[in-house]
């Protein structure tokens, strides 16, 4: 069973490492100057986002046509507005410029992008700044090794936190005598050490990750490690781990002078409980729970959810690794029913808080079935049901086999009546070991959920495309790209990227798979080269074909098509 657990744990870690780094979740709403436009030299570049962002170390950079940076100024939040990022510019010469930007969302995930603008007239032969923008953006995409390392450290931190808290609770509430067992102490110390190491390494790794840098650039982020919310929260976790170490050492010294089953002094219980609660808060404060609406309730729910998971899964590992190998029937008969009752309470709390968190992060059936977050959540729910089912089957098998009505156990992992023969213990070890395997996979899926964009925001993310013709560039934005009302924006540009007005502009939608359409859009001319249709209806999900027709002269017109994936 140990070999199986090691293999599955490595496979789960591989699942985390193989997941592509997520670039989410704030959305760029607008820029000044507007991308692609030509005009006078601006005094600054201004970006507006859908939520508060933190300016990454590389921040906003501007390049000329030769890919040379034109200023080393640092981007800032103008007028103290956290949703806006600005970069002051020197006097710019005529020509094209590329702006690359990188910020960190409120949930600690990086977002990056690029756009172009031109100062002065457009040359007769046009220019190719779009290709330069794509090249610079690709170079700013981040380091694969850093992304994989960060994903692995995040998984180790989450799993070791669950194990640490679960083992502490198990030795306090379920198996006080285990405080004197060497194997239990080693498990506790190992969980503490892995969590401390993953946290200490995770702070600089996350700084490199959000800035798109490699390990060779580690020295350049040294002074910025604790500037982000992620760095501050994980730094606080290290402090809490230090305090917990003091509590554990004091408890160990006290236990050496007292019987194993004697309750710990209240001061150690309170100090340890508060420290553990602080540790359980750190994932919520650095992740999705601390963003958007209902933040206090979401943070409290996350605290209860993660605490319950720790009681259940961390205690399960302690049971299979420390209690069952001892094969002491009297001890097992006392410990397993007690853990079963605790696990049943934890399962109920996980269900309640999980439903709330799912509603908050998903909110609709479409978001559940069409987004990465929703699909991962469904996988987690299925695995959760499998884990509960394994516990129920184990309990039913033992009751049927040994007919022990005196032990009426609550549902939960590891729930079983015990017989004194070694075969019963061996079967129980296999059953609980299988539950532990599933638990490891659940933790791996959960670590991917932490990195994924919440389904609500993913579902409402806009669609954008650039349609290219010989005579015209047409930028299209559909916000949001989901079934229901949506706003359409069209910008017409010259092949060189300058704003260009047209004589007439029309657009229509068609959904071939459902034989719907064509549906003409009711467009309004908002400004030269800008047409919009507000509140247009996308009645069904699917791949909608958008066709636009622009009349550039009295007799000449251009047509272009694109496909909009509507969720």
The whole-number pLDDT of residue 412 equals 47
Lowest-confidence segment of 31-45, 142-156, 242-256 by average pLDDT:
31-45
The CATH classification number of 463-566 equals: 2.60.40.1930
Query: Residue 408 CB: number of other CB atoms within 10 A?
Result: 10
Q: Which of 206, 42, 193 is nearest to 109 (CA)?
A: 206
Q: Which residue has the higher pLDDT, 71 or 203?
A: 203
Give the strand pairing for 473-479 and 524-527. unpaired
Q: Is the pLDDT of residue 197 over 60?
A: yes
- Residue 25 banded pLDDT, cuts 50, 70, 90: low
pLDDT of 410-434, one tens digit each? Answer: 444 444 444 445 565 666 667 667 7
If phi over 0 gives left and psi between -120 and 50 gives alpha, with beta otherwise, what is residue 81?
A: beta
Question: How far is Cα 344 from Cα 346, in angstroms, rounded to an integer?
Answer: 5
- Residue 165 banded pLDDT, cuts 50, 70, 90: very high
Lowest-confidence segment of 23-37, 60-74, 519-533 by average pLDDT:
23-37
For residue 306 the two structure tokens come to: 């993660």
Query: Residue 3 CB: number of other CB atoms within 10 A?
Result: 7
The string of DSSP codes covering 467-504 is EE-SS-EEEEEEES-SSEEEEEEEEEE-TTS-B---SE
- Select, from the ranges 419-428, 430-439, 474-483, 508-517, the one with the highest average predicted confidence (pLDDT): 508-517
Question: How far is Cα 213 from Cα 140, in angstroms, rounded to an integer?
Answer: 8
CATH architecture of 47-106+115-131: Sandwich (2.60)
Q: What is the mean pLDDT of residues 277-288?
A: 84
pLDDT of 127-162, one tens digit each? Answer: 556 666 666 666 665 667 887 888 889 889 988 999
Question: How far is Cα 400 from Cα 560, in angstroms, rounded to an integer?
Answer: 70
Cis ω on the peptide bond leading into residue 33 (within 30° of 0)? yes
The overall pTM is greater than 0.95 = no
What does pLDDT average to over the chain? 77
Specify the DSSP class assigned to residue 8. Answer: H
Percent of the chain with pLDDT over 70: 76
Q: Is the pLDDT of residue 324 over 60?
A: yes
Sign of CA dihedral 12, 14, 15, 20: positive
- Residue 23 banded pLDDT, cuts 50, 70, 90: very low
Q: Which residue has the higher pLDDT, 128 or 481?
A: 481
Query: Residue 379 CB: number of other CB atoms within 10 A?
Result: 15
Q: Which residue has the higher pLDDT, 30 or 455?
A: 30
Q: Which residues pair with 478 in a beta bridge?
A: 463, 488
Which of helix, strand or coil describes residue 167? helix
Lowest-confidence segment of 298-307, 385-394, 409-418, 432-441 by average pLDDT:
409-418
């Amino acid at each position: 069973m140990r070999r199986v657990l090691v293999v599955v744990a490595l496979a789960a870690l591989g699942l985390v490492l193989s997941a592509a780094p997520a670039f989410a979740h704030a959305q760029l709403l607008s820029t000044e100057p507007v991308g692609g436009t030509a005009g006078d030299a601006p005094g600054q570049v201004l970006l507006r986002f859908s939520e508060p962002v933190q300016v990454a170390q590389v921040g906003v950079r501007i390049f000329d046509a030769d890919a040379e940076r034109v200023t080393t100024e640092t981007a800032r939040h103008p007028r103290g507005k956290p949703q806006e990022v600005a970069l002051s510019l020197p006097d710019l010469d005529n020509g094209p410029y590329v702006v690359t930007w990188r910020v960190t969302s409120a949930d600690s995930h990086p977002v990056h992008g690029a756009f172009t603008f031109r100062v002065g007239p457009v040359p007769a032969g046009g220019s190719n700044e779009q290709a330069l923008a794509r090249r610079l953006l690709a170079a700013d995409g981040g380091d694969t090794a850093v992304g994989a390392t960060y994903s692995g450290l995040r998984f180790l931190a989450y799993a070791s936190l669950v194990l640490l808290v679960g083992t502490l609770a198990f030795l306090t509430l379920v198996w006080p005598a285990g405080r004197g067992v060497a194997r239990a102490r080693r498990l506790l110390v190992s969980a503490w050490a892995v969590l401390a190491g993953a946290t200490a390494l995770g702070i600089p790794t996350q700084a490199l990750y959000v800035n798109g840098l490699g390990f060779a650039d580690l020295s350049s982020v040294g002074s910025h490690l604790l500037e982000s919310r992620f760095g501050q929260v994980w730094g606080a976790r290290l402090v809490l781990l230090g305090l917990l170490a003091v509590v554990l050492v004091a408890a160990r010294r006290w236990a050496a002078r007292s019987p194993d089953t004697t309750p710990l002094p209240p001061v150690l219980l309170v100090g340890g409980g508060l420290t553990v609660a602080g540790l359980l808060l750190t994932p919520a404060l650095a992740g999705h729970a601390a963003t958007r609406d209902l933040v206090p309730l979401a943070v409290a729910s996350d605290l209860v959810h993660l605490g319950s998971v720790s009681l259940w899964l961390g205690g399960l590992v302690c049971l299979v690794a420390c209690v069952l190998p001892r094969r002491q029937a009297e001890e097992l008969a006392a410990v397993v029913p007690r853990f079963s009752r605790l696990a049943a309470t934890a399962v109920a709390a996980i269900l309640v808080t999980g439903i709330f968190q799912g509603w908050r992060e998903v909110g609709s059936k479409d978001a559940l079935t069409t987004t990465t977050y929703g699909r991962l959540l469904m996988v987690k729910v299925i695995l959760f049901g499998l884990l509960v089912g394994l516990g129920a089957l184990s309990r039913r098998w033992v009751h049927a086999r040994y007919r022990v009505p005196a032990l009426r156990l609550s549902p939960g992992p590891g729930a079983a009546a015990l017989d004194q023969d070694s075969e019963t213990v061996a079967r129980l070890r296999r059953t609980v070991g299988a539950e532990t395997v599933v638990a490891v996979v659940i933790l791996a899926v959960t670590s991917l959920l932490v990195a994924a964009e919440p389904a609500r925001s993913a579902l409402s993310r806009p669609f954008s495309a650039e349609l290219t013709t010989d005579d015209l560039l047409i930028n299209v934005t559909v916000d949001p790209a989901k079934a229901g009302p949506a706003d359409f924006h069209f910008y017409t540009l010259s092949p060189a990227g300058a704003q260009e007005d047209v004589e007439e502009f029309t657009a229509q939608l068609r959904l071939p798979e459902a034989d719907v359409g064509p549906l003409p859009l009711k467009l309004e001319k908002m400004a030269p080269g800008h047409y919009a249709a507000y509140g247009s209806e996308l009645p069904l999900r699917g791949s909608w074909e958008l066709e636009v027709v622009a009349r550039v002269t009295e007799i000449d017109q251009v047509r272009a098509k694109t496909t909009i994936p509507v969720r």
